[in-house]
Structure 1
Amino acid sequence: MANTVLIVLGMAGSGKTVFCHRLYSWLSEKNLRLNKDTGLNDAVFGANLDPASIATKMPLHYDIREHVSVADLMEQKRLGPNGAILTALNLFVAQIDTFVKQIEEAAPTYTVIDTPGQIEMFTTSVSGQILTKCLSGAPNTEVKLLYVLDGESAQNPQCFVSNMLFATSIFYRFKEPLLLIVNKSDIEGSQKIRAWTSDFSLFTDDLTTTDFITPTLRSMALWTEEFYSAFKLYYVSSLTSSGKTELLAVL
């Protein structure tokens, strides 16, 4: 049975963790195979790889917090929060075979992986690449990266450019299929992002009205337009489930 691994990435505040929960629920509607011992749905494997997460939403087959403690690492190794998260991820990938085996034993149709809100801890570290390569190299497995944008903060042109630069970096670093998810699309004003991505002149008009506009920012905006114009953006709401059908159709 083929397994589609969905690695969900997003900046802090993007609603990534809630989106993971909703995505898990949406996928479970048509993919249900309850494990009588755990009570979990083995058709959709949920994994939390954010060691600093206080509370997770989706049902979990694997939780990195059960294997490593950020608080203990900070105390024992005298690390800061980010250093402890990075160390926790490195310790995790040192045992990556165990994680991959656990997924294979569950034989899911989908695997949903929530990653740290400190996105650079995963995207710029070796641990993120090791995880992705190990999963993509597993038999009958396809990896897709889901980059979640905050549909509220991304209404700021500078924030939108920043997100697109991050998404570009992720795409070329991991070299896996990438889906751009505009979350919180039910929030007033999110239609502005739709307009920007369909007509670049509208974006440049709004960009010129910002307080901080430089030739460099203009150049970056033009460069990122060449990137995101090659992708379809998926507008979803974790609150109302709008956009669910369109997203699930490509997963």
Structure 2
Amino acid sequence: MSKVGILVLGPAGAGKSTFCNSIISHMQTIGRRAHLVNLDPAAEPSKYEFTVDIRDLISLDDVMDELEMGPNGGLIYCFEYLLENLDWLDEELGDYNDEYLIIDCPGQIELYTHIPVLPTIVRHLQQQLNFQLCATYLLEAPFVVDTSKFFSGCLSAMSAMVLLELPHINILSKIDLIKDEYSKKRLKRFLNPDPLVLTDSANKDTSSKFHHLNTAIANLVDEFGMVQFLPLEVKNPDSLNTILSYLDDVTQWSESQEPKEPADQFDIEEL
């Protein structure tokens, strides 16, 4: 019996919800079960209904109306309320064994940097509910074709990797929006970045007073040794299958499955 949870992280607009729907649809196509867990109190379901929805406990709209808070303050309040009521989360998630849970998270980075809400939830899922977790961090491909923006995205991804202390897969979303050949060629250098190439590119686009900083960031990305990206095309089954295979490897999904009897794998009449 295994409990697997995939946390879907990334800035607002990176395509997290689209990725969640696409990976669930792909898994259903190949005969596997997955459920969508919503941890964003401001989200609305799109293609698939939420199996577990934080809005059943508390919603951002209610907090903003009743407490007269803004969206960011209201979001923090919602998660502080969730931390005070983790028994609700235990009850909602407790019955899912041998199934993937795709956990859609908010895009506000302060939830796992300034205020360690998500790290606390991660530890609870691991220690109390025995979930095998993996984090995916999405960045938009059209955003990172600029080297300075790629640096920004890398640093935010590294921040999540360090603070959550989880196996981590970085994904470049919206690959299909890259149309011109020049941008496609630039994009290839960011999938498995070379620090020297990144430094040269950044130095060409910035003032000389930033060259030392560019070099330091590029070397940090290289020394960290974990910032690589998988391309995501949500309408391409091969792209989704590649990402799913990485998720399976990281979470050891196959190793945790019980061996099937031969009769379970073939039609009885064929034996």
Which of 234, 238, 244 aligns to 2:230? It is 234
1:17 Cα deviation from its structure 2 partner: 1.2
Structure 1 residue corresponding to 2:222, chosen from 215, 222, 225: 225
Residue in structure 1 matched with residue 243 of structure 2 by the alignment: 247
Amino acid at match of 1:234: L
Q: Structure 1: how far apart are the matches of 2:170 and 2:82?
A: 27
Task: Tell which deviates more after alignment, 92-101 or 116-125.
Answer: 116-125
- Counterpart mapping for 1:129-208 below 5 A: 129-138=119-128, 140-186=130-176, 187-188=178-179, 189-196=183-190, 197-208=192-203
Higher helix share: 2
CA distance in 1, matches of 2:105, 2:149: 21
Corresponding residue pairs, total:
240
- Partners of 1:102 and 1:178 lie apart in 2 by 25
Q: Secondary structure at the match of 2:137?
A: strand
Q: Which amino acid aligns with 1:194?
A: K
Regions of 4+ moved over 4 Å: none
Identify the residue that residue 30 of structure 1 maps to in structure 2.
30
- Secondary structure at the aligned position of 1:209 is classed as helix
- Structure 2 stretches lacking a partner, 5+ long: 248-271
Per the TM alignment, residue 200 of structure 1 is displaced from its structure 2 partner at its CA by 2.8
Q: SS state of the match for residue 85, structure 1?
A: helix
**Counterpart contact for 1:48–1:64, Cα < 8 Å:** yes
Stretches of structure 1 that go unaligned for 5 or more consecutive residues are 33-42
Could you tell me the percent identity over the aligned residues? 25
SS at structure 2 position matched to 1:110: strand
Q: CA deviation at 1:93?
A: 2.4
The 5 Å alignment of 1:20-99 reads 20-32=20-32, 43-99=33-89
Q: Do the aligned partners of residues 110 and 54 (structure 1) sit closer, same or farther apart at CA in structure 2, a change above 3 Å counting?
A: closer
Task: Pick which of 138-147 and 84-93 moved more.
Answer: 138-147
Look up the match of 2:9.
Answer: 9
Shift in CA distance, 101/107, structure 1 to aligned 2, threshold 3 Å: farther
TM-score (norm 2): 0.80
Secondary structure of the 1:45 match is strand
1:120 is aligned to 110
Task: Give me the whole-angstrom Cα distance separating, in 2, the residues matched to 1:152 and 1:192.
Answer: 10
Cα gap change, 1:126 to 1:50, in 2 (>3 Å): same
Write the letter of the residue equivalent to 2:29.
E
Tell me the C-alpha RMSD between the 2 structures: 2.2
**C-alpha spacing 1:130/1:105, structure 2 compared with 1 (3 Å):** same
Shift of the 174–235 alpha-carbon distance from structure 1 to 2, 3 Å rule, reads: same
